[in-house]
Amino acid sequence: MGKSRSRMSQVLSPSNRESWPWPPVIQASAVVHVAAVGAGLLVPGAWPWAIGALVLNHAVITAAGLTPRSGLLGPNVTRLPAGAAARREIAITIDDGPDPEVTPKVLDMLGAHRQRATFFCIAERVLEHPALAREIVARGHSIQNHTARHRHNFSLLGPRGFAHEISRAQQVLEEVTGQRPTCFRAPAGLRNPFLAPVLHRMGLSLVSWTRRGFDTREGNAQTVLARLTKGLEAGDILLLHDGHAARTPQGQPVILEVLPELLARLQADGLRAVTLPEGLSA
Protein backbone atom coordinates (compact mmCIF):
# COMPACT_ATOMS: atom_id res chain seq x y z
CA MET A 1 0.00 0.00 0.00
CA GLY A 2 1.44 3.36 -1.06
CA LYS A 3 2.27 6.35 1.09
CA SER A 4 -0.59 8.37 -0.41
CA ARG A 5 -3.13 5.75 0.70
CA SER A 6 -1.63 5.67 4.17
CA ARG A 7 -1.80 9.45 4.47
CA MET A 8 -5.38 9.53 3.26
CA SER A 9 -6.39 6.84 5.74
CA GLN A 10 -4.84 8.84 8.57
CA VAL A 11 -6.83 11.93 7.65
CA LEU A 12 -10.16 10.18 7.10
CA SER A 13 -10.07 8.03 10.22
CA PRO A 14 -12.53 9.49 12.77
CA SER A 15 -10.30 8.41 15.64
CA ASN A 16 -7.55 10.67 14.33
CA ARG A 17 -9.65 13.82 14.02
CA GLU A 18 -9.51 14.63 17.74
CA SER A 19 -5.89 15.80 17.86
CA TRP A 20 -3.48 16.97 15.21
CA PRO A 21 -0.10 15.18 15.09
CA TRP A 22 2.11 18.20 14.37
CA PRO A 23 4.74 17.32 11.73
CA PRO A 24 8.42 17.24 12.72
CA VAL A 25 9.25 20.58 11.07
CA ILE A 26 6.60 22.35 13.16
CA GLN A 27 7.75 20.62 16.34
CA ALA A 28 11.32 21.65 15.53
CA SER A 29 10.13 25.20 14.93
CA ALA A 30 8.62 25.33 18.41
CA VAL A 31 11.89 24.11 19.90
CA VAL A 32 13.84 26.74 17.95
CA HIS A 33 11.57 29.50 19.27
CA VAL A 34 11.91 28.38 22.87
CA ALA A 35 15.68 27.94 22.57
CA ALA A 36 16.13 31.30 20.83
CA VAL A 37 14.17 33.19 23.46
CA GLY A 38 15.94 31.35 26.25
CA ALA A 39 19.37 32.02 24.79
CA GLY A 40 18.53 35.67 24.24
CA LEU A 41 17.48 36.09 27.85
CA LEU A 42 20.15 34.00 29.54
CA VAL A 43 23.27 34.23 27.36
CA PRO A 44 24.98 37.65 27.08
CA GLY A 45 25.30 38.81 23.49
CA ALA A 46 23.18 35.95 22.11
CA TRP A 47 20.31 38.06 20.78
CA PRO A 48 21.75 38.52 17.25
CA TRP A 49 22.22 34.76 16.93
CA ALA A 50 18.78 34.08 18.39
CA ILE A 51 17.11 36.49 15.98
CA GLY A 52 19.04 34.97 13.08
CA ALA A 53 17.84 31.49 14.06
CA LEU A 54 14.24 32.70 14.16
CA VAL A 55 14.54 34.39 10.78
CA LEU A 56 15.99 31.24 9.24
CA ASN A 57 13.28 29.13 10.84
CA HIS A 58 10.52 31.31 9.44
CA ALA A 59 12.17 31.29 6.02
CA VAL A 60 12.02 27.47 5.98
CA ILE A 61 8.35 27.45 7.02
CA THR A 62 7.48 30.09 4.43
CA ALA A 63 9.34 28.23 1.68
CA ALA A 64 7.44 25.04 2.51
CA GLY A 65 4.14 26.89 2.24
CA LEU A 66 5.14 28.36 -1.11
CA THR A 67 6.05 24.92 -2.48
CA PRO A 68 2.76 23.26 -3.44
CA ARG A 69 4.14 19.71 -3.48
CA SER A 70 5.95 19.97 -0.15
CA GLY A 71 4.95 17.64 2.67
CA LEU A 72 6.81 19.52 5.40
CA LEU A 73 3.69 21.20 6.77
CA GLY A 74 1.58 18.04 6.83
CA PRO A 75 0.30 15.21 4.61
CA ASN A 76 0.17 16.15 0.94
CA VAL A 77 -0.87 13.68 -1.75
CA THR A 78 1.23 14.13 -4.88
CA ARG A 79 0.70 10.71 -6.50
CA LEU A 80 -1.85 7.92 -6.49
CA PRO A 81 -0.96 4.93 -4.29
CA ALA A 82 0.91 1.90 -5.54
CA GLY A 83 -2.25 -0.14 -6.08
CA ALA A 84 -3.63 2.43 -8.50
CA ALA A 85 -0.31 2.68 -10.32
CA ALA A 86 -0.23 -1.11 -10.68
CA ARG A 87 -3.60 -0.92 -12.42
CA ARG A 88 -2.18 1.73 -14.80
CA GLU A 89 -4.37 4.49 -13.36
CA ILE A 90 -3.70 8.21 -13.32
CA ALA A 91 -5.77 11.19 -12.13
CA ILE A 92 -6.64 14.21 -14.25
CA THR A 93 -7.58 17.09 -11.98
CA ILE A 94 -9.23 20.23 -13.35
CA ASP A 95 -9.33 23.40 -11.24
CA ASP A 96 -11.21 26.68 -10.87
CA GLY A 97 -14.54 25.82 -12.49
CA PRO A 98 -17.17 25.11 -13.33
CA ASP A 99 -17.08 27.36 -16.38
CA PRO A 100 -20.18 27.40 -18.61
CA GLU A 101 -18.09 27.94 -21.76
CA VAL A 102 -15.34 25.44 -21.13
CA THR A 103 -16.56 22.71 -18.76
CA PRO A 104 -19.29 21.22 -21.03
CA LYS A 105 -16.73 20.77 -23.81
CA VAL A 106 -14.29 19.19 -21.37
CA LEU A 107 -17.01 16.77 -20.27
CA ASP A 108 -17.73 15.81 -23.88
CA MET A 109 -14.04 15.15 -24.55
CA LEU A 110 -13.69 13.02 -21.45
CA GLY A 111 -16.86 11.11 -22.34
CA ALA A 112 -15.71 10.46 -25.89
CA HIS A 113 -12.54 8.82 -24.53
CA ARG A 114 -14.32 7.10 -21.61
CA GLN A 115 -12.02 8.72 -19.09
CA ARG A 116 -12.87 10.29 -15.73
CA ALA A 117 -11.57 13.39 -14.02
CA THR A 118 -11.71 15.23 -10.72
CA PHE A 119 -12.93 18.81 -10.76
CA PHE A 120 -11.65 21.00 -7.90
CA CYS A 121 -14.48 23.51 -7.97
CA ILE A 122 -14.87 26.95 -6.42
CA ALA A 123 -18.07 26.91 -4.38
CA GLU A 124 -19.25 30.34 -5.52
CA ARG A 125 -19.01 29.20 -9.14
CA VAL A 126 -20.96 26.06 -8.28
CA LEU A 127 -23.72 28.27 -6.86
CA GLU A 128 -23.71 30.24 -10.11
CA HIS A 129 -23.90 27.07 -12.25
CA PRO A 130 -25.50 24.33 -10.11
CA ALA A 131 -26.90 22.36 -13.06
CA LEU A 132 -23.42 22.17 -14.58
CA ALA A 133 -21.96 20.94 -11.29
CA ARG A 134 -24.62 18.24 -11.09
CA GLU A 135 -23.87 17.24 -14.67
CA ILE A 136 -20.19 16.76 -13.79
CA VAL A 137 -21.17 14.24 -11.11
CA ALA A 138 -23.90 12.62 -13.21
CA ARG A 139 -21.35 11.87 -15.92
CA GLY A 140 -19.19 9.90 -13.52
CA HIS A 141 -16.67 12.52 -12.46
CA SER A 142 -15.85 13.85 -9.00
CA ILE A 143 -16.16 17.34 -7.55
CA GLN A 144 -13.76 18.26 -4.75
CA ASN A 145 -13.13 21.30 -2.55
CA HIS A 146 -11.20 24.27 -3.96
CA THR A 147 -12.43 26.79 -1.35
CA ALA A 148 -15.51 29.00 -1.32
CA ARG A 149 -14.09 32.02 -3.15
CA HIS A 150 -10.56 31.17 -4.35
CA ARG A 151 -9.13 34.11 -2.42
CA HIS A 152 -5.75 35.40 -3.61
CA ASN A 153 -4.67 35.86 0.01
CA PHE A 154 -5.76 32.37 1.03
CA SER A 155 -2.26 31.34 2.10
CA LEU A 156 -2.17 34.25 4.58
CA LEU A 157 -5.30 33.21 6.48
CA GLY A 158 -5.30 31.85 10.01
CA PRO A 159 -7.23 28.86 11.40
CA ARG A 160 -10.56 30.70 11.54
CA GLY A 161 -10.25 32.00 7.97
CA PHE A 162 -9.28 28.57 6.66
CA ALA A 163 -12.16 26.93 8.50
CA HIS A 164 -14.68 29.43 7.13
CA GLU A 165 -13.53 29.14 3.50
CA ILE A 166 -13.30 25.36 3.51
CA SER A 167 -16.42 24.55 5.54
CA ARG A 168 -18.51 26.92 3.43
CA ALA A 169 -17.31 25.15 0.30
CA GLN A 170 -18.03 21.74 1.85
CA GLN A 171 -21.59 22.83 2.61
CA VAL A 172 -22.25 24.24 -0.85
CA LEU A 173 -20.73 21.34 -2.77
CA GLU A 174 -22.60 18.74 -0.77
CA GLU A 175 -25.92 20.57 -1.03
CA VAL A 176 -25.62 21.04 -4.79
CA THR A 177 -24.14 17.67 -5.81
CA GLY A 178 -25.25 15.36 -3.02
CA GLN A 179 -21.67 14.26 -2.46
CA ARG A 180 -19.39 15.49 0.32
CA PRO A 181 -15.81 16.18 -0.82
CA THR A 182 -12.96 14.19 0.71
CA CYS A 183 -10.11 16.06 -1.00
CA PHE A 184 -8.97 19.67 -0.86
CA ARG A 185 -6.65 21.77 -3.00
CA ALA A 186 -5.51 25.23 -1.96
CA PRO A 187 -5.58 28.09 -4.49
CA ALA A 188 -2.30 27.85 -6.41
CA GLY A 189 -1.33 25.16 -3.89
CA LEU A 190 -0.10 27.82 -1.44
CA ARG A 191 -0.68 27.49 2.31
CA ASN A 192 0.74 27.99 5.79
CA PRO A 193 1.11 25.75 8.88
CA PHE A 194 -2.45 26.49 10.06
CA LEU A 195 -4.10 24.70 7.13
CA ALA A 196 -3.24 21.07 7.88
CA PRO A 197 -4.94 20.96 11.32
CA VAL A 198 -8.13 22.43 9.80
CA LEU A 199 -8.17 19.80 7.05
CA HIS A 200 -7.50 17.11 9.64
CA ARG A 201 -10.54 18.14 11.69
CA MET A 202 -12.74 18.17 8.59
CA GLY A 203 -11.58 14.79 7.33
CA LEU A 204 -10.09 16.23 4.14
CA SER A 205 -6.92 15.18 2.36
CA LEU A 206 -4.68 17.85 0.86
CA VAL A 207 -3.99 16.89 -2.77
CA SER A 208 -1.51 18.65 -5.01
CA TRP A 209 -0.15 17.07 -8.21
CA THR A 210 2.69 15.19 -9.84
CA ARG A 211 2.96 17.48 -12.84
CA ARG A 212 1.20 20.59 -14.13
CA GLY A 213 0.96 22.44 -17.43
CA PHE A 214 0.84 26.02 -16.10
CA ASP A 215 -2.16 26.43 -18.38
CA THR A 216 -3.47 29.55 -16.64
CA ARG A 217 -0.61 31.56 -18.12
CA GLU A 218 0.72 29.46 -21.01
CA GLY A 219 -1.33 29.73 -24.20
CA ASN A 220 0.77 27.36 -26.31
CA ALA A 221 -1.04 24.03 -26.21
CA GLN A 222 2.01 22.00 -27.21
CA THR A 223 4.08 23.51 -24.40
CA VAL A 224 1.38 22.66 -21.87
CA LEU A 225 1.03 19.15 -23.29
CA ALA A 226 4.78 18.58 -23.15
CA ARG A 227 4.89 19.56 -19.47
CA LEU A 228 2.09 17.13 -18.66
CA THR A 229 3.42 14.18 -20.63
CA LYS A 230 7.19 14.38 -20.08
CA GLY A 231 7.95 11.31 -18.00
CA LEU A 232 4.24 10.52 -17.68
CA GLU A 233 3.64 7.27 -15.82
CA ALA A 234 0.96 5.36 -13.95
CA GLY A 235 0.06 6.93 -10.62
CA ASP A 236 0.60 10.51 -11.76
CA ILE A 237 -1.80 13.30 -10.77
CA LEU A 238 -2.10 15.91 -13.53
CA LEU A 239 -3.31 19.50 -13.17
CA LEU A 240 -5.29 21.47 -15.74
CA HIS A 241 -7.82 24.34 -15.51
CA ASP A 242 -11.28 24.85 -16.97
CA GLY A 243 -11.63 28.12 -15.04
CA HIS A 244 -9.07 30.91 -15.52
CA ALA A 245 -7.67 29.04 -18.52
CA ALA A 246 -5.14 30.81 -20.71
CA ARG A 247 -6.08 31.36 -24.33
CA THR A 248 -4.32 30.14 -27.43
CA PRO A 249 -3.36 32.63 -30.14
CA GLN A 250 -6.68 31.72 -31.79
CA GLY A 251 -8.60 32.64 -28.62
CA GLN A 252 -9.38 29.07 -27.58
CA PRO A 253 -9.12 28.06 -23.90
CA VAL A 254 -5.89 26.09 -23.94
CA ILE A 255 -7.33 23.06 -22.12
CA LEU A 256 -9.61 22.41 -25.08
CA GLU A 257 -6.61 21.94 -27.37
CA VAL A 258 -4.52 20.06 -24.83
CA LEU A 259 -7.08 17.58 -23.56
CA PRO A 260 -7.77 15.61 -26.79
CA GLU A 261 -4.07 14.98 -27.35
CA LEU A 262 -3.53 14.13 -23.69
CA LEU A 263 -6.39 11.62 -23.72
CA ALA A 264 -5.05 10.06 -26.91
CA ARG A 265 -1.64 9.72 -25.25
CA LEU A 266 -3.21 7.98 -22.25
CA GLN A 267 -4.95 5.51 -24.52
CA ALA A 268 -1.75 4.82 -26.46
CA ASP A 269 0.15 4.22 -23.20
CA GLY A 270 -2.52 1.97 -21.74
CA LEU A 271 -3.34 4.39 -18.94
CA ARG A 272 -6.78 4.94 -17.44
CA ALA A 273 -7.87 8.21 -15.84
CA VAL A 274 -9.88 7.73 -12.65
CA THR A 275 -11.33 10.11 -10.07
CA LEU A 276 -9.30 10.84 -6.98
CA PRO A 277 -11.71 9.01 -4.64
CA GLU A 278 -11.35 5.95 -6.88
CA GLY A 279 -7.59 6.15 -7.13
CA LEU A 280 -6.93 6.95 -3.48
CA SER A 281 -9.12 4.10 -2.27
CA ALA A 282 -6.85 1.56 -3.95
Q: Annotated active-site positions, please?
A: 95, 241
280 Cα distance to chain centroid: 13
Q: What's the per-residue H, E or C state across the chain?
A: CCHHHHHHHHHHCHHHCCCCCCCHHHHHHHHHHHHHHHHHHHCCCCHHHHHHHHHHHHHHHHHHHCCCCCCCCCCCECECCHHHHHCCEEEEEEECCCCCCCHHHHHHHHHHCCCCEEEEECHHHHHHCHHHHHHHHHCCCEEEECCCCCCCCHHHCCHHHHHHHHHHHHHHHHHHHCCCCCEECCHHHCCCCCHHHHHHHHCCEEECCCEECCCCCCCCHHHHHHHHHCCCCCCEEEEEECCCCCECCCCCEHHHHHHHHHHHHHHHCCCEECCHHHHHCC
Residues in the chain: 282
Q: Which amino acid is at 35?
A: A
